[in-house]
A and B are shown apart, each in its own frame.
Chain A
Amino acid sequence: MTLLGHLSLWLALLVGLWGAVTGFAGGLQGRADLQQSARRAVFAMFAALALATICLEIAIFRHDFNVAYVAARTSRNLPTFYLWSALYSGQEGSLLFWATVLSLFAALAQLLTGARHRAYLPFVAAVTCLVATFFVTVMLFAANPFARLAFTPADGSGMNPQLQNPGMVFHPPMLYLGYISITIPFAFAIAALLSKKLDVDWLVAIRKWTLVSWLFLSIGLLIGMWWAYVELGWGGYWAWDPVENAALLPWLVMTAFLHSVMIQEKRGMLKKWNLALVLGAWLLSIFGTFLTRSGVIASVHSFTQSPVGYFFLAFILIAGVATAVLYAIRLPLLEADATLESMVSREASFLFNNLLFIGIAFSVLWGTLYPILSEWVQGTKVTVGPPFFNLVNIPLGLLLLALTGIGPLIAWRRASLPNLRRQFAVPAATGVFVLLILLVAGMRDLGPLMAISLGGFVMGTVTQEFARGASARHRQYGEPLALAAVRLVARNRRRYGGYIVHTGMVLLFVAFAGMAFKTETQATLRPGESATLRSPYGHMYTFTHLGISQYDALNRRVTAALVDVSLDGKPMGRLKTEKRQHVDALGRNTFEPSTEVGIRSGLREDLYVVLGGLVNGTEQAVYRFTINPLVWWVWFGGYVLVAGGLIVLWPGGGPPAVRRMQAGYAVKLESK
């Protein structure tokens, strides 16, 4: 099977090259036969890569340890659930996964794009084939998933215990899907540049793709945060690790694009900017992959150092230069159809919103690369950790939160003073009210104070928008208010789905602010002994060590510690935290013992208990007890954000394309 997989990769390489050549030639020369050939090459490439993926999965499930990748990532006693995720748990397999999903998306783009946008498809086929071919090239020449060993080990090395978590089964594919799907908008952008069809049409063609990409990136980031929180044991969900940053960068740029594209659709402005954002988001996604796989920056996520990094570096440089040149050549064709009428308008607020998104993206990129720059300039290695990123990004993040509330309150084109007064009164009052409550409650930390009161302001805006919309429907159609609110969302999914996304962001910001009040202690307890910890709300938690038990489970030896928890003397239940020594099918230890955290999650705070270890092999245990306020709201905010994104993405809800085109023509007529 591995031979078949290997041959499939070679086939994919040849077909991909053919698709790229015929796609570009067919598109530029307008030859239908070449265009058709490029389209078929996309499907053929997908078939070849899907076959290669199936071959690797079969090797994994058959425990074919003669295949180096299977021997390095799995073992006979690895649960079936994780045999699936073994496909993308290592360098070679994840490259194959990436190329296969890209070819799937490329095929879907060919199938799902409407007749109106057919002119772009040959170029889209060419670009997607070219990118997928690059990944296949890397596999064939630097990281072959089908490479064989000179001998066959009795069992594999097993999967890293930290990857044996449900979060790790879903986090990488979600993030990859987000990264990979950016290639489709990028391909359409290149197609628009090459075909000189740079009006609003290509934006309509990529609208769903950009949303899909943003949604997958969001879900991937959120699951990654959850995994870090429940699995790594340090008690947080974001550490500004270079690879986390690399995933955040395209998300920030895509979010900026989702806002600014509305200005182009409604007013025919910002053509250059929107195009640059799409091109930039894709380049950043490849840059993120380069960071993850090159080992150029120390990160806990990094794959081992390998020549793969050089391939990616060369690819980024070539793709970056080619894209920049093409963009520069077409700049004269990207003049705006209309101009800004007032500084106080929705358009202007979106521009400032974009400035902040890109500003944060720049500061994250800058901080991530600064260690390299410092070594070049100063000859000194430095570490850029959370203190740097928090200092630089928190003020920008708070400004962005403020704009989230301000933007929807300002009218398109021009806002008058009475209009502003009417719009801002309720949200501003809500923000001030929340601020006063917090001050009275004794909160004095500036960051959390600002985050939560600005959150109040944004929620005031969102509530006002919903209330006004629903009451307008209630007055006009006599619908009950609840039904009116539901129909309001259903009829204008983009706008109100967007407000739901804003609500999710507010919840996330408030939850982030909560971590400023994290408290923790460390204790060594014999069975029956207790430790106490005061929560930020003033309650006293008592943790009583009940004892240690050891047992075998699936592919590990478990040392479990049981802790009894009470709040102000009232029993709350028991928490279990574990040390796990993973073993292979022959009973040999495979990795260092890992830790499973005991978590009790509540609306107010999370109890987070870590078994550090045992004293002299006895039941006397070392614990870390942590109270993490408001963490539950990170996950809930994530659900709300994703729900809002799905509402925006859901098909139907009126013909937006037609409305946008009408708006575009209206702008053109007016500007003449």
Chain B
Amino acid sequence: MMERWNDGKLECERREFLGIAFLGIVSLFPTFQPSNAFQDSLAGSGPAGRVPDPASAGRALDPTTAADTDAAYQAIEKQLKCSCGCGLDIYTCRTTDFNCTYSPGLHRQVVALAAEGKTAQQIIDAFIAEYGQQVLMAPPKRGFNLVGYLLPSVAVLVAAGFLIRTLRRWTRVAAAEAGAVPASGAHADASPAELERLRRELERHRG
């Protein structure tokens, strides 16, 4: 017969003992997190719980402010290039994947300048003064840049003029050749109405 190591009286209830033992075993598993290790979120109220590995979720962000979604600031930021090298404007860059460390600062600069009472154009001018003309998403429409803006359209217009002139010359040559060559076959005898009918028939057959 086995001897009891104490007076046989447990200091806690059996159910409590088993519960503690179970928790002890389960806590050995690395994935298990005791429920009070971080506070779980409650729908729409109270602080949100911490995630286990915040570092892998990207840069820690501040809550969105009214200035972040203000259409007037967005309009300004869409004209200014982010200096991180992505080639996007400040607004698009700061809202693309929120990883950029430059665009939030540039956004704050826009907001600060606006808070000083500056107009949109004055804010843009302040950016040009600080970062140079390349901060604009498109060159300003003045000076040599006008060549930049107008050349493609002017080139197309000049080419169109040249093309029309060439086409006219070609059609004149064709008309002269047609006049010089004695009329043969259908062209000589056919009336315009007949030619039109012929053309329609040919078109139908081509289909």
Residue positions of A touching B, CB distance < 8 A: 232-235, 239, 241, 298-300, 339-343, 348, 351-352, 355-356, 358-359, 362-363, 366-367, 370-371, 373-374, 377-378, 380-388, 391-392, 395-396, 411, 416, 418-419, 465, 468-469, 472-473, 488, 492, 520-524, 526-529, 547-548, 550, 557, 559, 579, 581, 589, 592-595, 610, 612-620, 622, 624, 671
Contact = CB atoms under 8 A, between A and B. Distances in A.
Contact of B58 (A520, A521, A613): A613
A527 B48 contact: yes
Contacts of B163: 351-352, 355
Given A351-B163, A416-B196, A526-B44, A622 B64 contact: yes
A387 B137 contact: yes
B48 A559 contact: no
B49 A239 contact: no
A526 B41 contact: yes
A619 B95 contact: no
A293 B86 CA distance: 17
A388 B171 contact: no
A381 B156 contact: no
B97 A595 contact: yes
Given A383-B137, A615-B63, A374 B145 contact: yes
Contacts of B144: 374, 377-378
Contacts of B199: 411, 416, 419
Given A386-B137, A614-B60, A559 B149 contact: no
Given A391-B149, A419-B199, A385 B97 contact: no
Nearest to A610: B97
A384 to B, nearest CB: 6
B201 to A, nearest CB: 11
Given A521-B69, A620-B63, A233 B96 contact: yes
Interface residues of B, number: 76
Contacts of A547: 41
B57 A617 contact: yes
B43 interface: yes
A339 B139 contact: no
Given A366-B152, A610-B97, A613-B59, A620 B48 contact: yes
Interface stretch (B2-10, B11-19, B117-125, B128-136): B128-136
Contacts of B68: 522
Contacts of A356: 156
B61 A340 contact: no
Contacts of B47: 618, 620
A624 B95 contact: yes
B87 interface: yes
Interface string B63-100: 11000110000000001010001111100110111110
B53 interface: yes
B136 A383 contact: yes
B200 interface: yes
A613 B57 contact: yes
The 3 A-B residue pairs with the shortest CB-CB distance in the complex, in nearest-first order:
A528-B43, A617-B54, A363-B152
Contacts of B89: 385
B160 interface: yes
A381 B41 contact: no
B183 interface: no
Contacts of A527: 41-44, 48
B189 interface: no
A385 B152 contact: no
A50 to B, nearest CB: 37
B56 A581 contact: yes
A233 B137 CA distance: 19
Contacts of A521: 69
Nearest to A467: B207
A339 B98 contact: no
Given A378-B144, A620-B63, A595 B99 contact: yes
User: Quick one: which of A232, A391, A622 has the most chain B CB within 10 A?
Assistant: A622
Given A300-B86, A383-B137, 10 more contacts: A234-B93, A339-B173, A341-B174, A383-B138, A472-B204, A523-B64, A593-B99, A595-B58, A614-B57, A624-B95
B50 A239 contact: no
B15 to A, nearest CB: 33
A522 B170 contact: no
A347 to B, nearest CB: 9
Given A363-B152, A610-B97, A612-B98, A617 B64 contact: no
Contact of A385 (B53, B138, B159, B203): B138
Contacts of B43: 527-528
A355 B153 CA distance: 12
Given A241-B87, A341-B174, A613-B58, A619 B137 contact: no
A373 B139 CA distance: 12
18 contacts: A235-B92, A343-B167, A359-B152, A382-B133, A382-B139, A383-B138, A388-B138, A522-B69, A526-B45, A550-B57, A557-B56, A559-B56, A559-B58, A581-B57, A614-B51, A615-B48, A615-B61, A619-B50
A528 B60 contact: no
Contact of B95 (A241, A378, A522, A593): A522
Given A374-B145, A488-B207, A232 B99 contact: no
Nearest to A370: B148
Nearest to B132: A381
B160 A355 contact: yes
B116 interface: no
Contacts of B134: 371, 380-383
Nearest to B69: A522
A239 B137 contact: no
A378 B48 contact: no
Nearest to A377: B144
Contacts of B139: 370, 374, 382-384, 388
Contacts of B148: 366-367, 370, 373-374, 384, 388
A519 to B, nearest CB: 11
Contacts of B156: 355-356, 359, 362-363, 396
A342 B178 CA distance: 12
A526 B48 CA distance: 6
B99 A385 contact: no
A242 B64 CA distance: 33
A287 to B, nearest CB: 18
Nearest to A558: B56
Interface string B145-176: 10011011101100110011001101101110
A338 to B, nearest CB: 8
Given A392-B149, A488-B207, A547-B41, A234 B87 contact: no
B60 A615 contact: yes
Contact of B167 (A351, A366, A384): A351
Contact of A384 (B57, B58, B138, B159): B138
